[in-house]
Structure 1
Amino acid sequence: MPPGIYKKLMSTSMDAMMGNLGGAMKAMPLRQIAQIGGMSAEEAQKLDKVDLSQVMAIYDPHWEERQKLTMHAMFGAMGDFFTTMEPELREGMATAYANRFSLSELNDLDRFFETPTGTKYAATATTIMTDPAVMNTMKDLMPKMMQQMPHFLEAAKKATAALPPPRKIKDLSPAEKARLAKALGMDESKLQDPKGTS
């Protein structure tokens, strides 16, 4: 893989995918977003038939620009971070390949990567997700995936149905409260249940 490949990945493919996700979210009706957030279908049905972009245009006229700048800055900074981590990542990749391929197989791969086709493949394989053909598919996929989000969440809910619900502060023993307060670095009297729990 050419040097700087991780920064390139972060600044192109991930940026584009997040852009598609943001576009899918903007185009979704507010009631659908509310259902993803846990509102029942009956409650969500009462919401106006408007999409998120209409709501945000009222609340924050610079919302779309703010989202783009935020994502661009975040993935740029993440790209810089991954550049500093590249030697360790390469070491990890080398170990992973050594665990899965024999020396003879690795030599076969090395000979392939020395050919013009192998060199081209090495330079493009990790960034193929940025190809317009792939990105257009992702653009079409995101709205469909977001529409299925209530189904995904319901599957997760069913998978954990047999587990007891998370405990509340009042359910903890004095020793557990003391340990929790110490772990959080706060006074025990200020402990409270996370918002959204009932």
Structure 2
Amino acid sequence: MMRPTIAAIAFALVSPALAQTAAPAATPAAPAVPDPARLAAAEKAVAVLVPKGIYNRMMRDQYPKMMDALMVQMMGKTADELGMPAEKGAGGKTMRETAASADPHFQERMRIMSRVFGEELGVVFDKIEPRVRAGLARAFARKFTAQQLDDMNAFFATPSGAVFADQYLLTFMDPELTQEMMAATPEMMKAMPAIMAKVEKATAHLPPPPPPSTKPKTDEND
């Protein structure tokens, strides 16, 4: 149970960084075509904020560091301190002690998992980067005026602006930030039962979902 839980928490910590450049969600009405001049200025700004290969850098270099910080903070606490259900017979043992008793190689497995996970996600996100830049540029062109975009580009052209743009997305995966986010995990875990109870109440008027089918799919023409 522990590995999926840690992976889920890690992904939740990564999500803010990925969300910074997520393409806007589709809307029922087609958005207006941005002004060409504003779109060009937006594309220039986005190219600096989302440079080629940034996702690969984030997942390959930053993700393992984030996981190391997560493990140091998380594994020294008990399940109760983290607001998680304790393993049977765990008592007041820390997560590290519980994991080691079940699998002496747990920490090495987690290090390998985070490395492989980061490398492979880097490859996946590297492929969608152009689409992210295109969507973000269109969003920028609609949200900001030509003057605002010119001001951004003027700032990014300065030494300080260039450093800011280069580190902007990477900062969302910095151990200093993820450590603070991790500190909120117990509160989030404790809130989940009440949240799920409200979800059940809000969906009580709906019929229960059908049970998963165990029958193999067949061709309708058969």
Q: TM-score range by the shorter chain?
A: 0.5 to 0.7
From 13, 31, 34, give the equivalent of 2:85: 34
Q: Contact (CA 8 Å) 1:113, 1:122: kept in 2 or not? A: yes
From 9, 12, 28, give the equivalent of 2:58: 9
Q: Contact (CA 8 Å) 1:30, 1:52: kept in 2 or not? A: no
Q: Contact (CA 8 Å) 1:10, 1:75: kept in 2 or not? A: yes
Which structure has more relative contact order (CA 8 Å, sep 6+)? It is: 2
Unpaired runs of at least 5, structure 1: 36-43, 170-176, 188-198
TM-score of the pair, normalised by structure 2: 0.59
The CA deviation string for residues 46-88 of structure 1, in whole angstroms up to 9 with x for no partner, is 8551444434323321122112211221111111222232222
Moved more, 50-59 or 13-22: 13-22
Matched, 1:85 2:117: no
Q: Separation in 2 of the partners of 1:93 and 1:186? A: 42
TM-score of the pair, normalised by structure 1: 0.64
Aligned residues: 168
Equivalence for 1:108 = 151
Q: Separation in 2 of the partners of 1:146 and 1:135? A: 16
Q: Separation in 2 of the partners of 1:132 and 1:20? A: 6
The CA deviation string for residues 79-99 of structure 1, in whole angstroms up to 9 with x for no partner, is 122223222222222122122
Equivalence for 1:38 = none
Helix, strand or coil at the partner of 1:150: helix
- What one-letter code is carried by the residue in structure 2 that aligns with 1:109? M
Q: Report the structure, 1 or 2, having the larger helix content.
A: 1
Equivalence for 1:62 = 105
Identity %: 31
Q: Contact (CA 8 Å) 2:62, 2:170: kept in 1 or not? A: yes
Q: Contact (CA 8 Å) 1:29, 1:52: kept in 2 or not? A: yes
Equivalence for 1:75 = 118
Q: Answer with 1 or 2: which has the greater Rg.
A: 1
